Each structure stands twice: as structure tokens, then as C-alpha cells.
Structure 1
Amino acid sequence: MRALFLATLLLGSSALSSMALAADAKAGPDAVELAALYYYAGQKQQDRLEAETNRLRLKYPDFVVPADVYSPAARQVDESALWALYDKNDFTGIEAEIGRRRSENPEWTPSADFSGKLARRKQRVEMMAATARKDWMGVIEAGKAVDPARETEVDLVWMLLDAYAQTGAKDALSGAYRGLLFRQGDKRLPEEQILTTLQKSTRDFPAGDVREAMRLLATSPLLQAGLQPVELDLTRKDVADFNADATRQAPIAEGEVGTLRVAAERGERLEDLSLLGWYDLKLKAPENAERWFKAALAKRRDAENAKGLYLSLAAQNKQDEAYAVAEDYIDDLSADPEFLMNALSLRFSKPDQPDADVRTVTAYSNAILATSNADHAEILAWYAYNSRQYEAAKAWFEKSLDWESAPVRVKGLALSLLRLGARKDYAALEAEYCAIYPEIWAEIKVATPPRGRRSVAVEMPVASATSGGTGYLAHFKAKRFSACIKDISALEARGAISADAMLIKGWCHLELNRLAEARYAFETALGNSRTQAEAAYGAALTLLRGRLTDDAEAMIGLYPLTEKRDREVRAEIYWQRARSAFDHKQYQRVLDALNARASLVAEPADLSQLRGWAYYHLGNRGQAQAVFARLNMHLYDPAAARGLAVSTAPIR
């Protein structure tokens, strides 16, 4: 109840009873006059209370002071300020207001209605916040008082379902589903909530189990009709499981798959097209698979569907069309270098194929280096040799031999050395391999030079800038970083050096913690498309070492990294931001940065401690306590124990 003035102040239930009796007697004070009496008592204004009592006795000779006028229940306080803070989820403000009121009146406590609703609101906010940051153990901790069999706010149980599923708590997950779905009588969920819960269950249980639950629950025609989308979700799950299981060969019943085909034809979901593409491809029906993948790619560019289309075309021996797909999606497929390498190799392995373009040669080279594949390094080496690019051929044959020895690779290297006139190196190679591969040398000595029909330049691999065990690369491999830099600087003094050498120079400077020099070397290597990705990674690490967090983020924004490296760099960026925000007492920014980092990688104990202290300084003692308690459950740590003690200590 709200206070407008003295007469409308909150009254206890017994005070209301006194007013009713006085009114009935028609010889006593009315509600307004009694309200003043209760107000003075609540404010402990004894003089005014006595004066008001005397006034009432003069007016009403039979007046008796109500027995409960001094009771705490009669001295309730307007809670409108607390409710306003409640509406804003300002729990820190509520604690402060409660503390202020208790300092004025130690006997005062919030109403049972407010206290109950406040506890409930805190629980909801904590569960939602933990869900948003994917802190699944935090969701479970915040929702430990939720009873799935009785909870009326069903979305709280749904959050718990997600948390149990993510943490592998199978027993708790099954129990929560049973509590929701199999309630009886007036506790039974509305049909819409039953449908939503069943749809979630398709993620967590085998299709047969979900179908059995549907059979038991579908007691009305309306619910049976509503379960059709759930049945379709189960078909999607069946098809996805079939596609992912290499041991399964027997097709799913066509009647079941047919419903998914109808849905896919209607274009309701892009994922349906992809599912059916991979399903038909596995059943060796590439013509059908081609149609599904083309339909999916017409809706959105996607690397996985591009792979499916490539494989569908290749299975039909449509090699040129398949290669065109790989070429069109070359950037999208670079995240899977092994697939891209195999898809592009057609242009390099057969002499009757059209010449590859520069972009394709670079992509193929990078994929080979990323996978350390000796066979494809050999293919590229012969491609370079047959186009009279003998330096590149020599480098790629050396690279293929480093990864795996074979007579044809020694032969290619020997031929490259002969064409370069490197007689001394040729003699050393023959002495090394003559006894191992004796059959190749007579053939080498009578081989005629290639015609050199192809014209696109093949770039050198990183390791090709040196030969044998000498040179800057040998120093780098042996961790002689100063000697490596000295050799590269000597090459630089004689003229322009390769981007590969600048890249190695950057890594050497970074190992020696010479950040300015490392940054310059990496940024120089950014200019070459082949070394660009590696240089961007090195530059980002250098900037982070120098605490130039924003510059590092800008670097990977301009030059995208592989998924693994991007995750590594961004995790460090968010860590640095969290640490800086904590030092500047910007605790909400600490949580924002830690939440962003936690979406990329697991959170170690030291960062969880930082999270706990951020909650504590923001006044969220319950969340701070939960963090420190979880840390102490797994491993005793004095710092975490101190955090737990502080966050659970009574507020003074």
C-alpha cells in the first residue's frame, strides 16, 4: 500500500480490526484519526503519541488505546521505493535501501510478499545471466531450488535442461524431463509447453525414446496434430545420425525420409537441403545429392554444402564442374586445407589440364604447407619443374623429401639441380642416395629438359630459402635466433629478400622480445598473399605482447586467421581487457570481457577468481559466492578460499 499522507500510511491487520470496531461503536475515532496514532507510535514520537491519545479521550470519553499500537506489525513502512528498485532488477540498490531502513528501525523487515518475490527474481536473473554466458554450472547452482515437477515458470526448467545437457548430467536431465512431461491432473503442463519440451528432448534422447513419450502424452487430437513438427525433428535427427555414422549403410525407411523431402521442397529450412544432400550422397545417388546441394548453395554460400556439391559432381565424373566449384569456393574451403588440396590437385597432376591461375597456385601451396603432405608437395614440384621453374621445383622436391622419402622425389630433386647447373649439390645428393635408390641415376643422366608449357609462377615454400643444414632457417630451427637474424640481415643488405625470410625474421625478433623489430618484419611479410596469414598471426601476438590490445584486434579484423588461431588471439585480447578493466575498477566491463572469452575457450581458475571478485565488487555477493564455491569444490586455493570467506561474510 502506498503512502499519500498521514491518513494513508500502511496499517497492520490488527490495526484495521481496531478501526472497524471503533466505527461500529459509532462512539470512537475513525480510521483517519487512528492512523495518526499508529503513525506516531511507529515513529517513536512519544510526546505526540500522548498528545494524540489525550485529544482522542477528550473527544471520545470511552476511548481505549488499542493494545497493538506498539506491535511491529502495526508499524509497516511504505515499500514503494523497494518495488521500484525490484522492477529494475537493482539488487544492490535493494540491499542498500533495506540496510538504511534497518539502521533507522532495527526491528523492521520487508514484507513476506516482497521478500519472497525478491528471492524469486534474483534466482531468475542469475539463471538467465548464467545461461547467456554459457556458464552451465552457474545455471545449475542458481536453479538448485527449482522443482521440475512443480515449477510453474517452466522456462526456468528449460534453462536447467540446457545446463544438464551441456554438462552431461544425464540422470538430472532425465529427471527434469519426467518432472515436466508427466505431471498429473491440474499440475499437467499446457499443451504448448508440452510441445516445446518434447522438441527440446529431440536434442537429448534417442528418437525411439522421444516417440514413446509422444505416444503416452498425445491424449488429445489437438496435441497429436501439434506433434507433427516434433516428428519431423526426429526424422531430421535420424537422417543426421545416419549421415554421421560410417558403419550404418542400410537406408532409413523411405516413408519417414519422404516427409523430410516434402519439407525440403517447400524450402522451410536450409538445413533440410543439406541433410538430404549428404544422405543421398552416402546412398550413392549423387544426381539427387547434386540437386539438394545446388538448392542449398542458391540460398546461402556455405563451405560444407560446397564440399557436398564437389563430391556429388566428382562421383558423376564431372571433373571440370567439380573443379569449378572448388575454385569458386577457394576462400571458403581454405579452413579445410586437406579437402581443398585434393580438390585443386587436378590442375597440377595432369599435363592435359588447363593451366592454373595465380590464386589457385597460392591456395594449393598454402594447403600443402598446412597439411605437410609429401605427395602433393611432389605434384607441385613436378608442376614447377615441367614449367622450367627449377628453383621452385628444387624447393618443393626438398620439402617433399623432408616429409617422406621416395625415389621419384630424389629423381625430381636431382633433375632440378642439373637444370640449375648445381653440380656440387647434385654430386652430394647422388652420393647420399646412390645405394638407397640405385635404379634412378642412369635415367636421370639421359633425361631431356621439359618444354615448359605452363607459365604461372610457383611460389617457394617457407623452408626453401636455405639448403642443407646451413643458413638462417637452420639457425631458426635450432633456436639460434640472433644468428638467424644476422644471416637474414646479410641477405637484406645484398638486395630484396623474400617474404618468407621476413616472416622468419619476425619470429626470431619476437622470441628475443624485440617487439618493434618483430612488428616491422611481420607487417612487411603481410604484403605477400602466401605469407599473409602467418604474418598477421605473428603481428597480432607481437601487439598483444606489447599490450596493444586494440591494435591486435584491428589486425585480425583486417587479416582473418584460421579458426584455431583466431580463437587463441581473441581469448588473449579479452583477457587483457578484463585485467585492464579490473585495474580501473570497471567491474561490469570485466564480466563482459570474461563472458566473451568464455564463449571461445574454457575459463581457467585464475580468471574465474577474477570473475568472482568482479561480482563481489558489483554487490552480487550470491554470484560471487557461487563462483568461489565452485573453485573450492575442484581444487583448494588460498585465494579462492579467501574470496569464498569474504563473499559469505555477513554485511555490516
Structure 2
Amino acid sequence: MSVRSSSVAIVVAVAVAGLVTALKDRPALRDMLGFHWVSEPAPQFMLMGRVTGPEDSPKPHVDVQAIADRLQAATLVAPLPQDGEEAENQVTVAQAGQQQPNVQPASPAQPKVDESALRYFASRGDTARLQAEIARLRALYPNWVPPADPLAIPQGGDKQLEQMWQLYSEGRYAELRKAIADRQASEAQWQPPPDLLDRLDVAEARARLVNASDLKQYATVIQIGANTPSLLTCSDIDVLWRVAEAFAKTDRAPRAQDAYVYILKNCTNPQERLATIQKASALLSYATMQDLLGLERADGNGGREFDSIRNDLARRFVAAGNDDPNLAVAPTYLSIVQRLAETEGLASDSLLLGWYQLRRENYADAEKWFRAAREKEDTALASQGLALALIAGKKPQEAEDVIYKWRGASKDATATYLAATANLMALQPPANLSEEVLSRVATEVIARKYVPTAQQFGWFARTLNQPQTAARWFETALRWKPDDEPSAYGLAITRQQLRDRAGVAEIQRLWAGRSERIAQLGETTSRTTTMPPLPAAGQTLAPEAAPPTVVRAPTEPPERESPPARVEALRQPVMQTVTVRRGARQLRGCTTTVNAELLDPETALSRGWCLMDINRPMEAAKAFEAALAAPNRKTREDAAYGQSLAYLRAGLSNNAAVAATKAPQTQQRAAELQVAILADRALAAFDAKRYREALIYLDQRAQLRQEPIDLLVLRGYAYLNMKMYGDAERIFTAAAATGSKDANRGLADLKASTHPDTVD
């Protein structure tokens, strides 16, 4: 090697060493040397590791020899002539410090520059890749000057190559592969430009990735992306989106988040950044989205770059809260959706808020928003939500009415309607249902074979003292679901009430070892009667063919024009119809207020009777409740009996019926309570102007005990208000024959109603 060559080599080696150190922070230098991270000067997203950015880009592979060759070629290029000097008299950069006379540098031959790619990128309007190609050619050919107008580059150089670029630009990759192979076969020395081959490989990989993404072959998408990292740059944002989606769809949310973070940290196109957040919000969790939104930038106008989609994001986040009741959505987003619901008037916004509040058991707020949604647009979803809120709020009657129209819209709507019917029939006190409502509820129960409502129909019939109807409902529920123990128990006590001993024995045989209360029922039949238990109010129940008899609730007749009946004088405490037998009780000490729960059962029982004697029934009821905890069976029986009497005196007949079920009662006590409860219910129905219902209670009572004159007069007034004047006259006349002043007053009211002109 000559001294000159050795000097050049030393200079080149030093330059290379410095260059390798500077490459990381000198993108312009990389471009000049034709060294690129990928096919364009932008950082790339690494699939196999964490997200990379400008500050932590992957280390490149440095071809030192190639760089040395380029530097050496650059040092041997003679500078342009200056001040009339001849070019051949100039020395090279390497010889500037030590000139050697009579040594002339050899002028290296410049290869012909292939500018076909420049023309191609210019014709496509791909400015980024055009500039990358110019930088590459400058690094290869330092003296090359790019054309001012790449489109003006003549096409006469290599027609076949230009056709190949054309095939590439049109995406006809298979034809391009064939054209390359054909030319290599015909021209053994011809080699396609490496840039064309690289770009073709990448383009084919991209096409495969997009196809796999469209076919939801997400594992293939990830594999292609890993094998072709040059695709994963900001210049092809769609590929990054597809890779992120593939990660999310394969349960690798953290890697999907990495991809979106890479975009938001490195890519600057505003529209693409906005679309990135939109796509991410459809795939990632609420918490992850808050991290991504932390990378939001100012828009330069005093706002934030994602303000235009803030409303939609808030809606999406509230919807996520609907799916997960444990997710606490930020109040800011709830406020946005609430403002939208109030200002834009969309039913969908009100529905979002309704479901969000319902899932968090804020039933009043949920009801408010569901009602608002139904006012804007009555849909199955809005009605279903409102019905659920009403059921939870102990309003099953309105819930049934709201959802009935949409009961067949979906499986969820049907389930909601049936739940409403079960809770409606389980109300305590029983709801006053019209014939229409009872009929349609029964029809749906039959069609759906819904056991819970069928069972509740049985209990409902028992409250109306219709044991035959109740038995049929319980039997029907058991046909649909033979292992429904509550229906079996209801049927057993109903058959016991009907004195069907064989029927009770059969149920006990079928349920032997499965129900203790059914087994114990027979033990008390000879000396006690167990009052039917009533289902808890507000109980949510579930459906199934219908019994031959449907319970019908009495409908309210039109009000009569005659003066209202005066029945206040008839009101005597129903307690007077009950024979009370109890032991000695302590009268002293019950005038002061005492927490009955702190007393022992026997003391609480005595205090209860004492409070009854001084007419403080509600306090007595609490004392009897405490006495029900006694281990002694007799004490429990007396406590249940006393609590029933207390509630009757307070006018709470339904509570009295429930209290009577808390312990078995003797037949005499059970009959006394039944008579008193029916009388009280008749008076309550009359006061509520449900005259037909009052007559039903009176008829039921009359089957147990002869009707006293005061209730006979009440019956006459019920007939009078229903304009059944013949029956009213018959009843009043019979009662007046006993000397009843109230009956005579009833005859006068009857005359005033039928012959108003003859009344003085």
C-alpha cells in the first residue's frame, strides 16, 4: 500500500470511529450516508419489545466497511476549480497538510444514477419517500445534484425498469415478481435495484398483514408485523392500528396499549392522533384509556387536541360503567353526559345515565333518567330499565303496566315483565288489581309456565279466602316445577284448610325428608291450625301452564249520586269479636317506655297484654315480637296471637294476618282471628269505596260466623252504593226489624237515592 493510500486509510478509520459514535444523535448524517433505521428516517415500533421512541431507538447495525468506502470515495473527489486554477492542480482533502509534487489524483468514474424511483415517488405525490430517496442517492453519489422537477426526468433510460416501478405503484406485485424473473432469465447480468426489491418485500408483507387483519387472523397479523418491522412506523399508521387491534383481540391489552402509546409519543398528524384515541377507546379498558389521554397535547388554541371527541368518550366511558358496576367513572364524564341529555335531547344519553345509576342501586336517579328517556322515545330498552327501577323501588304494579307493551321484545324484556308480575302478586297488602290486569298476568304466566308468579297467585287467592283457586294455582306450579317447595307447602296448608287429609298426607309422602315444615304440618292437624304464610313484600320472583281458575280482583263500581253512607256509628273495635283468653298479667310498670327487645320473652309477653289493656297496640305489637323469641311453644303461640290482636286494634288487618302465621294457633283462636280480620278488611274496603270487595269479605266472614247487625247494615250500604237497590232494601228491612236505628237510617238513604223528589 502506498503512503498516500495509508494516509487515506488512517483518515477513513478515524472518521468511521467518530461517525459510529455520532450516528445515534445525527439523523442528518445518517441520511447523507444512506443509513436508515427503516426505509424512511422515522423510528419504528418494535413488536417483540417495548414501545420505542426517538430517545430510546433500537441500535442499528453499522456496516463499517461500507461507510469507510464511501468516506474514502468522498475524500478522493477533487474540489471544483477556483480563481482560474485547473482542477488537476488541486489536492485532495487527505493531502491538504502534506503536498507531494508530481502526484496526480485519479478521478474516479461516476456510475450512472438510477433516478427512476425519484420519478415514481414524485408521480405518486409521496413527498416523504421522495426525500428519503434523494438522501440515499446523495449518500451514494456525493456530487449528484437532484433534479428540480423529478417528473421531468426522461423515461427513456430503462423502459423495462420503469414498467416495473409502474407495476409496483399499481400494487400488481405478482406481475412485478414475474417481470423481474423474466428479465433475469433473459439478461443474466441484470440485477433489479435493491431498493425495488426491498420495497416489494415490504409491500407484499403489508398486503398479507391487511388481509389477515380483515379476516380476523390476529396471530398472523402480529407475526407479519414482527417479521417486517419497517412497516411499523408513523408513515403507515393503518398498520400500527391493525397490530394494536390484534394485540387487544388476543388478550394482550398491555401490548396494544404500547402500540397506541408509541403513536401518541412519536406521530404528529392531528387527524391520525385523534383517530388513534377513537380506535383505542373501542378496545381498551376505562383505566387504560385514562393513561392514553394523559398523552394529550395542547391544540394551540387554548384547548386540548381531543376536545372534539370528548363527548363521545364520555358516553363510551359511562357505557363501560353500565357493564361493570364496580367501575367508578369520573364525575367529569358523568356531568358531560348529563349535560348532553339535558341539552341535546337524545334518549340514548338518558338511557346511559339510567343504566349507570341502576347498576349502582341508585333507584330514584335511575327511575328519573329512564322516565326522561321514555318521554323522548318509548322503546323496549327504556321501558325495561324503568320497570326494573320500579320493581326495586317497590312499585311492581306500575312496572307491570310499563313493560307489558314490550314484554315480547326480547328475552330480557320478557324476564323483566315476569319479574314484575311475581312481585306484583306478592305485594303486602295485596294490590287492588282490575280484571284486565289479572287476566293478562295470568295469560302470560300460562304461556311462559312461570312458576314464581303461579305460586304467588296461590298466595294471592288465599288472601281472598279462595282456597279452591289457590290449590289449583299451587298444583299448576308443581306440575311445571315438581321440586318447588314453597308451592308444595302452599298446597299442603290449603288442602288442610279444605280438610283434605288424604291430599295433605300425599304431599307429606312426596316431600318426606325434603321439607321439615311440610312434615310437621300433620302433627298439629288434630289440635291446631296453621295460618297460611304470606310471601315477603318486594320479593323478586321468576315463570310457567295456567290453572283452570283465575283469581279475579273486584273492580270499583261508579260512585252513586246519593249522599255517602254513614257508617262511622257502625265502627266498633274488631277486637270485640275476639274471645281473649290469657293468664294473669302485670298492669304495673307498662305506662313507662321500655325497649321490649331488652326484656326476656315471658316479661315481654306480660308487658304486651298490659299495653293492650291501656290501648297502646303498636307498643304491644313490639313487645309481642320480643316474646316470639321464647323457647317455650306456648309462649310463642300467645305472642303471635297477641300481636295479631294488637295489629287488628290498630286497623292493620294484613299485618295481623302475617302475625298469626308466626306460630301455630288452636282452631278456636284461628277462627276468631279469621273472623276479626275479615271484618276489618270489609270495613277498610268500604272506606276505600271498593264496595264489591267489601261484600266478598263479608260473605267470607258469614261462612265462619253469623253476621251481626252492624255488619249487616254495612252490607246494605255496600249494595246501595253499587245501585243494587233491591238487595239494599232487603238487607235494611231485615236489620230494621231488629230495632236497629242504623238500618232505619239506611232505608231513608235508600229512599233518597231512588225517589229524591219525595224526600222532605
TM-score (norm 1): 0.45
**Structure number with higher helix proportion:** 1
TM-score (norm 2): 0.39
- Point out the structure with max Rg over C-alpha: 2
